[in-house]
Amino acid sequence: MSSPSLILWRLLACPRSGASGIAPLLLLLPLLLLLPVLAAANCPCQDPVLCQPIRQRPDFEVFAFDVGEKTWKSYDWSQITTVAVFGKYDSELMCYAHSKGARVVLKGDVFLKDIIDPTFRASWIAQKLMVAKTQYMDGINIDIEQEVNCSSPEYDALTALVKETTESFHREIEGSQVTFDVAWSSKCIDRRCYNYTGIADACDFLFVMSYDEQSQVWSECIAAANAPYNQTLAAYDEYIEMGINPKKLVMGVPWYGYDYTCLTLTEDHVCTIAKVPFRGAPCSDAAGHQVPYKMIMKQVNSSISGIQWNKDQQAPYFNYKDSTGRFHQVWYDNPQSISLKAAFIQTRGLRGIGMWNANCLDYSGDAVAKQQTEEMWKALKPKL
């Protein structure tokens, strides 16, 4: 920790430790006593108890990202332990989640050059904390997907940001949760080089985004699985070998796939794709576009191949022809491919599972869709 941040930390910590902190505390006491009353008065839930933060610690974490819409009413709340609100804040969702004992956390995103300054970090954290408190939320999910070089000022600043955020949240919101999203691999994927062990130590757990694994394709430019089985699981072992406790890792699975336009499509289903470079790699999944599972399920009937299963990647795919006559290949995850990966959570004793994102399923209530949606939720459950 650099000295300015140390001083700042002492300043912040001061009223809690030194005797000098008592006098201001006495002055503040009436106000502090009043706070819960004021809070209850503003509580948007029918039952004011629902505005209290969630305190229980689940044995198994099911971490759901929500990007908006009202579909959350149809989620499987018997499983969800945390909802990360990445869309517009919805107080109704907060009340509902709390009634189910699930935490609601906000999104933390920040421009990395800014956080090198410890004063900026402190004000960023204070601002997030205020938002969390006024919205009765239970923590924050820090999602930084920017480039970071090893031994750069941002590298250490990021670890410090996570540590300071966790300290503040844990101190200010009882039972709160601070988590951090990491790429599927610790090997500087997409030029995101973080201090993984430092960050894991500094927060409650890492959400490993085991998807977009074709974001940097160094070999042949062909369409491939979003989250191939072997590659996905080997990366968890690398995180564990670095010294990260498996209980600090939540497996993130995709509820979406990629639709690639094929330049050529062979009889044995090899789809070559356009060269779209990404962060130094000659081709990437940016040659395709992301499609939510609900769309894929509608498209699959018009495929020319039927659902295929790739044994090497343990993932489904299909081919179709668009209205202009071009061939496409769609790679995705389904209950079968997800269950296979989820089994590893038990094998290695990971903390849980989660998905990007919960809105990707069809909650229309249509009979076929309903079953597909239920099966996707069921695939998250550990098979004991």
- Positions touching ligand NAG (CB under 6 A) are 147, 149, 152, 159, 195, 197-198, 230, 297-298, 301, 312, 368
Nearest residue (beta carbon) to ligand NAG: 198
Q: Please, what is the minimum distance in Å from the beta carbon of residue 346 to ligand NAG? A: 18
Distances (CA, A) of 41 to 33, 37, 44: 14, 6, 8
Q: Which CB sits closer to ligand NAG, 2 or 149?
A: 149
Are 264 and 282 in contact by the 8 Å Cβ rule? The answer is no
Q: Which CB sits closer to ligand NAG, 147 or 172?
A: 147
Beta bridge partners, 353, equal 62, 251
Tokens standing for 269? Answer: 């289903």
Q: Which CB sits closer to ligand NAG, 88 or 187?
A: 187
Q: Please, what is the minimum distance in Å from the beta carbon of residue 310 to ligand NAG? A: 9
Q: Please, what is the minimum distance in Å from the beta carbon of residue 7 to ligand NAG? A: 18
In angstroms, the first-to-last Cα distance of the chain is 44
Residue 145 a catalytic site member: yes
Residues shown for the chain: 384
Q: Which CB sits closer to ligand NAG, 312 or 322?
A: 312
Are 202 and 162 in contact by the 8 Å Cβ rule? The answer is yes
Q: Which CB sits closer to ligand NAG, 7 or 368?
A: 368
Q: Which of 104, 178, 97 is nearest to 135 (CA)?
A: 104
Q: Which CB sits closer to ligand NAG, 301 or 323?
A: 301
Are 105 and 181 in contact by the 8 Å Cβ rule? The answer is no
The secondary element (H helix, E strand) that includes residue 93 is helix 91-99
Q: Please, what is the minimum distance in Å from the beta carbon of residue 314 to ligand NAG? A: 9
Are 119 and 8 in contact by the 8 Å Cβ rule? The answer is yes
CA angle 48-51-55, nearest 5°? Answer: 125
Amino acid at site 152: S
Distances (CA, A) of 199 to 233, 249, 341: 21, 12, 24
Radius of gyration in angstroms for the set of CA atoms belonging to the chain, rounded to a whole number: 23
Set 61, 69, 92, 145: catalytic member:
145
Q: Please, what is the minimum distance in Å from the beta carbon of residue 300 to ligand NAG? A: 7
Q: Please, what is the minimum distance in Å from the beta carbon of residue 15 to ligand NAG? A: 25
Give the catalytic positions in this structure. 145
